[in-house]
Structure 1
Amino acid sequence: MSIGISLSGPRRSPLAWRPSTFLVFAALLGAGLALLPVLALAYTALSPQAASIWPHLAANVLPAALADTSRLLLGVGVLCALIGVGTAWLVTQYEFPGRRPLEWLLVLPLALPTYITAYVYVEMLGFQGPFQSALRALTGWRSLRDYWFPDPRNLPGAIVIMALVLYPYVYLSVRALFGLQAAAIVESARTLGAAPGRLFWRVGLPMARPALAAGLTLALLETLNDIGASEYLGVRSLTLSIYTTWINRNSLAGAAQIACVMLLLVVLLMVAEAHLRGQRRFALPVRQPRAVGRRPLAGWRAAAATAACALPVLFGAVLPIAFLGSEVLQRGLWQQFDAAMLRSLANALAFSGLAAGLVVLLGVGIAAARRQGREPWLPALSRVAGLGYAVPGTVLALGLLVPLAAFDNLVADAARRWLGVNLGLLLIGSGAALVLAYLVRFLAIAVSGVESGLSRISPRIDDAARTLGASAPQVMRQMHWPLARPAVAAAALLVFVDCLKELPATLLLRPLNVETLATTVYGHASRGAFEDGALAGLLIVLAGLYPAYRLARAGGRAG
Structure 2
Amino acid sequence: MLPVLALLGAWLPLGPEGAQAGAVLREMAATVLPQYVWTTLWLGLLVAVGAAVVGSAGAVAVTLYDFPGRRHMEWLLLLPLALPAYVIAYAYTDFLQFSGPLQSWLRESLGLQGRMLPDIRSLGGAVWVFIFALYPYVYLLARTALGERAAQLVEAARLLGASPARRLRSVALPLARPAVAAGVALVLMETLADFGVTSYFGIQTFTVGIYKAWLSMDDRVAAAQLSTFLLLLVAVLLQLEQRAQRRMRFVGNAVNRAGAGSGQPQWLRGRHCVLAWLVCLLPVLMGFVLPVLFMLRPLAADWSVLPWSRFLQWAGNSVRLGAITAVLGVAIALLLAYAARRNQGRLTRAVVRLAGLGYAVPGAVIVVGILLPVGWMQLAAPGLGLTALVTTTAFGIVWAYLVRFSAVSLQAVQSGYARIPLSMDDSARMLGAGPLRLLAGVHWPLLRRSTAAAALLVFVDVMKELPATIVLRPFNSDTLAVVAYQLARDERLGEAALPSLALALVGLVPVIMLSRTLRAGRG
Q: TM-score, normalised by structure 2?
A: 0.91
Give the corresponding residue for 2:39.
Answer: 68
**Farther-moved stretch of structure 1 (224-233 vs 508-517):** 508-517
Gaps of 5+ in 1: 1-34, 415-421
Which whole-Å CA distance do the structure 2 matches of 1:491 and 1:208 have between them? 29
Determine which structure has the larger helix proportion and give its number: 2
Deviation at 1:439, TM superposition (A): 0.5
Deviation at 1:413, TM superposition (A): 1.0
- Is the contact between residue 195 and residue 208 of structure 2 (CA under 8 Å) also seen in structure 1? yes
Residue aligned with 1:457, SS: coil
Give the corresponding residue for 1:179.
Answer: 147
1:403 aligns with 2:369: no
Which whole-Å CA distance do the structure 2 matches of 1:111 and 1:85 have between them? 20
After superposition, residues 446-461 of structure 1 pair within 5 angstroms as 446-461=409-424
Give the corresponding residue for 2:206.
Answer: 238
- Is the contact between residue 408 and residue 427 of structure 1 (CA under 8 Å) also seen in structure 2? no
- Is the contact between residue 375 and residue 387 of structure 2 (CA under 8 Å) also seen in structure 1? no
After superposition, residues 461-500 of structure 1 pair within 5 angstroms as 461-462=424-425, 471-500=434-463
Which one of the candidate residues 126, 134, 138 is aligned to 2:97?
Answer: 126
Residue aligned with 1:250, SS: coil
**Farther-moved stretch of structure 1 (274-283 vs 44-53):** 274-283
**Farther-moved stretch of structure 1 (425-434 vs 393-402):** 425-434
Which one of the candidate residues 73, 82, 86 is aligned to 1:102?
Answer: 73
Which whole-Å CA distance do the structure 2 matches of 1:37 and 1:123 have between them? 37
Give the corresponding residue for 2:400.
Answer: 437
**Farther-moved stretch of structure 1 (500-509 vs 165-174):** 165-174
Which one of the candidate residues 1, 21, 45 is aligned to 1:50?
Answer: 21
How big is each residue's C-alpha offset from its partner over 1:437-488, in whole Å with a ceiling of 9 and x where there is no partner? 0100111111122222222334454455556665555554455444443333
- Is the contact between residue 117 and residue 161 of structure 1 (CA under 8 Å) also seen in structure 2? yes
1:550 aligns with 2:517: no
- Is the contact between residue 390 and residue 472 of structure 2 (CA under 8 Å) also seen in structure 1? no
Amino acid at match of 1:90: A
Amino acid at match of 2:106: L
Amino acid at match of 2:175: M
Which whole-Å CA distance do the structure 2 matches of 1:459 and 1:290 have between them? 32
Amino acid at match of 1:397: V
Residue aligned with 1:151, SS: coil
- Is the contact between residue 334 and residue 535 of structure 1 (CA under 8 Å) also seen in structure 2? no
Which whole-Å CA distance do the structure 2 matches of 1:142 and 1:515 have between them? 42
Residue aligned with 1:52, SS: helix
After superposition, residues 4-153 of structure 1 pair within 5 angstroms as 35-46=1-12, 47-136=18-107, 139-144=109-114, 148-153=116-121
How big is each residue's C-alpha offset from its partner over 1:328-387, in whole Å with a ceiling of 9 and x where there is no partner? 22121575221x322211111111111111112111221222222121222221111112
After superposition, residues 212-227 of structure 1 pair within 5 angstroms as 212-227=180-195
**Farther-moved stretch of structure 1 (435-444 vs 182-191):** 182-191
How big is each residue's C-alpha offset from its partner over 1:59-113, in whole Å with a ceiling of 9 and x where there is no partner? 1111000100011111111111111111012112211122112211111111111
Amino acid at match of 1:554: T
Residue aligned with 2:345, SS: coil
How big is each residue's C-alpha offset from its partner over 1:187-218, in whole Å with a ceiling of 9 and x where there is no partner? 33332233333333333333333332332222
Give the corresponding residue for 2:15.
Answer: none
1:372 aligns with 2:338: no
Change (3 A) 1:424 1:132: closer
After superposition, residues 307-318 of structure 1 pair within 5 angstroms as 307-318=278-289
Change (3 A) 1:178 1:491: farther
Amino acid at match of 2:91: V
Change (3 A) 1:258 1:313: same
Change (3 A) 1:187 1:75: same
Amino acid at match of 1:66: V
Change (3 A) 1:423 1:443: closer
Change (3 A) 1:484 1:178: farther
- Is the contact between residue 412 and residue 425 of structure 1 (CA under 8 Å) also seen in structure 2? no
How big is each residue's C-alpha offset from its partner over 1:116-172, in whole Å with a ceiling of 9 and x where there is no partner? 1111111111233233244345x4233137xx4222211111111111101111112
The one of the two structures with greater contact order (alpha-carbon pairs below 8 A, sep at least 6) is 1
Which one of the candidate residues 317, 335, 351 is aligned to 1:381?
Answer: 351
Amino acid at match of 2:279: A
Give the corresponding residue for 2:138.
Answer: 170
1:262 aligns with 2:230: yes
Which whole-Å CA distance do the structure 2 matches of 1:191 and 1:469 have between them? 60
**Farther-moved stretch of structure 1 (313-322 vs 450-459):** 450-459
1:327 aligns with 2:298: yes
Residue aligned with 2:311, SS: helix
Q: TM-score, normalised by structure 1?
A: 0.85
Amino acid at match of 1:320: P
Residue aligned with 2:98, SS: coil
Deviation at 1:278, TM superposition (A): 5.9
- Is the contact between residue 172 and residue 555 of structure 1 (CA under 8 Å) also seen in structure 2? no
Change (3 A) 1:518 1:214: same
Which whole-Å CA distance do the structure 1 matches of 2:193 and 2:256 have between them? 39
Gaps of 5+ in 2: 13-17
- Is the contact between residue 186 and residue 241 of structure 2 (CA under 8 Å) also seen in structure 1? no
Which whole-Å CA distance do the structure 2 matches of 1:366 and 1:289 have between them? 39
How big is each residue's C-alpha offset from its partner over 1:216-275, in whole Å with a ceiling of 9 and x where there is no partner? 222111111111110222211000001111111111111111111111111222233345
Identity of aligned residues (%): 41
**Farther-moved stretch of structure 1 (530-539 vs 246-255):** 530-539
Residue aligned with 2:121, SS: coil
Amino acid at match of 1:492: A
Which one of the candidate residues 471, 475, 489 is aligned to 1:526?
Answer: 489
Deviation at 1:547, TM superposition (A): 1.7
Change (3 A) 1:453 1:285: farther
1:157 aligns with 2:137: no
- Is the contact between residue 181 and residue 292 of structure 1 (CA under 8 Å) also seen in structure 2? no
Which whole-Å CA distance do the structure 2 matches of 1:198 and 1:529 have between them? 51
Total equivalences in the alignment: 513
